[in-house]
Structure 1
Amino acid sequence: HTQAAAGAVGVIKTVMALEHGTAPRTLHADTPSTRVDWTKGAVRLLRSAQEWPDTGRPRRAAVSAFGISGTNAHVVLEQAPAQSVEESAGSANPPVDTPDVPLLLSARTSPALAEQAARTAQFLRSHPETDPAAAGWSLATTRAGHQHRAVVLGPDRAGLLDSLDALAIGTADPALVRGTTADSATGPVFVFPGQGSQWWGMGRELYDSSRVFRATVDDCADALGPYVDWSPVDLLRGEGDDPDVLHRADVVQPALFSTMVALAALWRSLGVEPGAVVG
């Protein structure tokens, strides 16, 4: 008996049945109870695995758990939508919005970090259809951060695998950074400068290359539109014939605000959440 995890096995079993389209046989039921009239109703014991055909609708199943202490639970599960390899690759809209792909790894100990690097490399090698950007997105946004950390950065699968191998065996690599966090660390601090840090065209490269940065600046431009006769998009991209307009406080302050908000959105889209914000 799985004690406190009772019911979890049933959920896992049902999820796998939904995924693979096969209902597994009922275990330990070779002799059905005589207290149930199995000739009536639609309930049947599965004496053998049974195919769960695709009917054009999602498969659904329910798992019940009845604890001796009085706990009653009933979980309804539904088949996840099918996702093709082309959709998961996401080449048109890569989830990690940078030219190079960062893979963020963390563990409680240094040996565990090396093991995670080896497992990640093995996964990428055994699943060539997986887009490294999608893997980077998952590592950055779905895993807890522990004390021992590392990041590998590369423009392609081969470079990432070389750096992961270096981390796994403990050798140096120019695209690998590793270290430990302080016990009291609560996250990075986003520091945004005030007036005087601006320049003409200061956001051109990020606006043109990052869809997250661009979308946020565009939102700021839409919000400012009814109140000003200029656009932060033009200022950040260096378009127009009057660079001196950035010397006006009523222009530079909203322009800097747009830049800061867009930078914060970009960092957060990569899984970097601030412990504090100053500025």
Structure 2
Amino acid sequence: MDSARRERARRFVGLHREGCFLLPNAWDVGSARVLEAAGFPAVATTSAGVAFSLGRPDHAFFAEQAAEDRVDRATMLRRVREIADGIRVPLSADLEDGYGETPKTVAETITMTLAAGAAGGNIEDFTGSRERPLYEPELAADRIRAARAAVDASGEPFVLVGRTDGLLVGGTLDDCVARANAYLAAGADCAFVPGAADAATIGTLVREIDGPLNVVMGLTGNALTLDDLRELGVRRVTVGGSIARAIYGHLVTAARELADKGTFSYADAQIPQDELNRLFTPSADRPGT
């Protein structure tokens, strides 16, 4: 890791020590630069957005998608590298389940992610199997422990996030708290519990989890604001694939207007060509230097 990237990674680690910050999710270099230009201190990837941009489905239950349709590790990490190379703020990577069950595979994924230039990454406990939707707690913690060992062996700053998908697969809040604390004890720097969207649930997680908490907004148009989440004690807020899904929503609307009406009002909201050219032209005065 070069010195400039190492300094960005150190800044990213620092963001998790106090306060609350918003970490928006991009899916390619262009979307990441838009978020960077808006002034965010860091950007994350969204596995869903990356998959959609490749015409592929996001990681889901195996019964609902063929294994060959899932974006593989090499493809995902190529995109991570492209984004990390294309922005001047830290990048955190959505690494799904680490692209394999064994702790060894998860450790390899973390090592590859560091080499791709990311300053952080999530490892989740979702398996893709309806019969066994989450990895067993002991194995899930071992996977985080192996990820931590890979980070430590690198000697580089990196924010490791332990994510439990318990609420998304019908699990209990108590189980999510237990898993999150086990992942923190195994070496995660931050816990992530997607599916927590109301103040009461989030407040309980903040109180009962022994470390920084990430929550994801935008999944259902939740009414909570960043100020609300800051007051609740949340450390980090992401938006998952919601920006990508909103963009694809506009695309579908434009396609339907063209196909059904033969009109072009969708173009009224487009960004001028010169503005996009300026945004996407590399220059020394881009934010994040």
The question of a shared fold, defined as TM-score above 0.5 by the shorter chain, is answered with no
Normalising by the residue count of structure 1, what TM-score does the alignment of the two structures yield? 0.22
Larger Rg: 1
Greater fraction strand: 1
Normalising by the residue count of structure 2, what TM-score does the alignment of the two structures yield? 0.22
Higher RCO (CA < 8 A, seq sep 6+): 2
